[in-house]
Structure 1
Amino acid sequence: MNNFLTGLAMGAALTTAGVYSPDIILSQFIFQDFTMLQTFLTAAASSTLLVTTSQSLTLTTLPPRPASTLDLLSWTRYDGNILGGALLGAGMAVCGACPGTVLAQLGVGVRSGRWALVGAVLGGGVWSWISRRRRRTGGDGERQQQKTGKNLDSRDGKLAGTGKGEMAYEALGISRAAMLIGLEAGFVLALAAAVKFADAPAAKARGIPPYVAGLAIAAAQLVSMVLRGSLLGASTAFEELGGWLWGAKKYANLVFSAGIVGGAWLASSAVPALRPVTDVAVSPVRAVLGGFMIIFGSRMAGGCTSGHGISGLSLMSISSFLTAAATFAAGGLTGLLVG
């Protein structure tokens, strides 16, 4: 029930914010409408304050997001984060959705979201199959252990018993408090610059300022922390669903995803003005392709725009900074090429 209620909160928040709309997402990646960026910066700043306070008071003991290692780039163990984040961003610019907003689009009734869901399920199925094969042949954890000489937690590939090396402030050699101050200052300055120099016509048309939208998403993060003791993230559900094809039946994240669909439907039904003004014409082929890319990329990176972009940044995880940077960079480049 807690997973479903948290999903309801996230679905309602995404719908209120409007960032589920393909028009808003696609316009961001061709640099015509910065509603999504302004909302993201507000949500990330607010969520970081919530999570850091909770961690400092030991109300939660959430580990950092671990590195995603594929052994494709010899110079970094974060190659999965970089490559997966880039694929995620490119996919967003192709289909106008991310793993969480695909579900919100279903609830609101966006036509392209149904096709993006098809691609997303396919992406989850393929990644689930690859993951099963890698585990059977000694995947990331074993190779990383050979490189470091240290034991690994088989569940997520972290160095057993410690998050050292995964926190950005540890890598920089500063305190968590100093990192918080610097990060919040960076978010605020970036948001101020975006508001001053980058227009957000979609937010103005909806009558909901991006900072209000971002606070709504942060509120959903708080609900997740209180009810589940964990942070938001949507892409795991598609790997779970894909795993059903191979006999691995799990439900927790699927229940959460059902809540997102339900929350989006309830919010848009209660306030019809939250529905998109126009249903952007994203072709079925493009939507399926993009849907596949966003899920395959998210699972390669170990998280999506909510899992890394909101939650992971809030935990100050190195992997999340790299994933988010790769996502926005690749999304912008792809948007300019296909937009």
Structure 2
Amino acid sequence: MTSRRNLQEVPMGDDNRPTPTRTVTSLAVSAACGLVFGFAIEKGKVYEPAVVKNQMFLSQFIMMKMFLSGIISGMFVLAVMSMLPFTRRQYLGAKSVFVRGLREKGFLTTLSGGALLGSGMAIAGSCPGVILAQLGSGTQNSMYTLLGALFGTLLYGILEPVVTDLTKPAQTIRFQFLYNVYGSPFFVMALPSAAVLSLVVFTLELAYPWEEEINITDSVYQSSSWITSPAWPPFVSGITVGSLQIPVVLVIGDTLGASSSFCTITSQFFLHKSSKRLSPYLLKFQSGIKNWWQVAFVLSSIFGAFLSSILSGTYSSVAGVSIVQSFVGGALILFGARMAGGCTSGHGLSGIGLLNLLSISTMAAMFVGGVLTAMILQWIS
């Protein structure tokens, strides 16, 4: 449980460059957040391919409850930061970074990218935000999902000029955020929206109790501490992940996301002096704290998921999908996420948390694409 991070602003020194102290602080905070993220993802069980695939089959709602809970907590803390005078500047800066990352995106782009993202999720049972958490928890064939994701990133990097030309909107979208449509402040719409989504999560939990969905007994849950428990309620994991917006916004000056880290990683391996013309898009991600903070975040999530699975005794106990499905799904996931300009973290947790219309359309397309692909897979199997 993924973005537009290539234009991230960082605190500047007097010479208009990131200071070493701020750089180290940003990377340290990123790593700490990634550790918590990976730990919470493993405890929430949304890293399990079966959980992701069953969500697309609409037969299990662990992922939906954690996803919505993350949006709710993120939306709440963002609304609070937008109101408080001593955090409003950081909130506006992070929102500005988010908007600039979508400046060449339109609804055709985000709908198409979101559909591909959802299709890949249904095939591989993963998403950009949890691929490395799957690796850390020893999920079967997760390495092939990672390789597929890197391939999808490289493919998009090469095709990006063509994709952008075909899908770029003719003119800038007038209203980027839902609250702009109604001319109201962000928090006026965000807080009631969070309350409504809370009712949705509550209703889903009444209809599909989380203990029954993951087949955990009260005795097992109650006999474990929160750190060694095999699972947390999805809303606890979701609230934990969504609350990470606080340090990311205040210290790093950005919002949660995961998919652009794959651009940075891919550019290190596949772009050399002789091949830089191959992808000017990926070249932008090769250096700079604005790109590497998210790499620190996702790499740290490997250890967070590893630590959680070791403590709960679940390491390497989760079955994955086939090698072919892992690779193909991983490629679709990252190609779609980069095309849309974000993933389940960037568009989902952050974009919907900000009430961004492009993000809402991306996530809607993601679920439609995922459900349709799941139905096709079920029909041909």
Q: Does 1:90 align with 2:115?
A: no
Matches of 1:34 and 1:50, distance apart in 2: 24
- The C-alpha deviation readout for 1:282-315, integer Å capped at 9, x for no partner, is 1100110000000000000000000011011111
In the alignment, which of 304, 309, 313 is matched to residue 272 of structure 1? 313
- Change in 2 beyond 3 A, CA 1:194/1:223: same
Shift of 1:41: 1.2
- Change in 2 beyond 3 A, CA 1:48/1:203: farther
Shift of 1:140: 8.6
Query: What TM-score do the two structures reach when normalised by structure 2?
Result: 0.75
Q: Does 1:308 align with 2:339?
A: no
Matches of 2:73 and 2:306, distance apart in 1: 25
Query: What TM-score do the two structures reach when normalised by structure 1?
Result: 0.83
Q: Determine helix, strand or coil for the equivalent of 1:63.
A: helix
In the alignment, which of 188, 196, 201 is matched to residue 191 of structure 1? 201
- Is this contact kept in 1: 2:77–2:243, CA < 8 A? no
Matches of 1:48 and 1:281, distance apart in 2: 32
Q: Determine helix, strand or coil for the equivalent of 2:355.
A: coil
| 2:95 alignment counterpart | 63
| 1:212 alignment counterpart | 236
Matches of 2:231 and 2:298, distance apart in 1: 28
- The C-alpha deviation readout for 1:29-71, integer Å capped at 9, x for no partner, is 112211111111111111100111112221422226444756x
Q: Does 1:255 align with 2:296?
A: yes
Matches of 1:38 and 1:165, distance apart in 2: 29
- Is this contact kept in 2: 1:69–1:78, CA < 8 A? no
- Is this contact kept in 1: 2:120–2:332, CA < 8 A? yes
| 1:319 alignment counterpart | 358
Unaligned runs of 5+ residues in structure 1 are 71-76, 149-158
Matches of 2:103 and 2:113, distance apart in 1: 9
Shift of 1:178: 3.1
Q: Which amino acid aligns with 1:265?
A: F
Matches of 1:254 and 1:175, distance apart in 2: 33
Q: Which amino acid aligns with 1:322?
A: S
| 1:28 alignment counterpart | 55
Query: What is the RMSD of the two structures over their aligned residues, measured on CA atoms?
Result: 2.5
Q: Which amino acid aligns with 1:246?
A: L
In the alignment, which of 245, 255, 261 is matched to residue 221 of structure 1? 245
Shift of 1:6: 2.3
**Identity, % of aligned positions:** 28
- Change in 2 beyond 3 A, CA 1:48/1:140: farther
Q: Note the 1:51-200 alignment, pairs <5 A.
A: 51-57=78-84, 58=88, 59-61=90-92, 62-63=94-95, 65-66=98-99, 67=102, 69=104, 77-131=106-160, 133=161, 147-148=170-171, 165-200=175-210
Shift of 1:193: 2.4
Matches of 1:97 and 1:186, distance apart in 2: 27
Q: Does 1:287 align with 2:326?
A: yes
Q: Determine helix, strand or coil for the equivalent of 2:130.
A: helix
- The C-alpha deviation readout for 1:129-186, integer Å capped at 9, x for no partner, is 223x469xx9599x65xx44xxxxxxxxxx6xxx962111112444423312431233
Shift of 1:239: 1.7
- Is this contact kept in 2: 1:10–1:260, CA < 8 A? yes
Shift of 1:10: 1.5
Unaligned runs of 5+ residues in structure 2 are 1-26, 217-229, 273-282
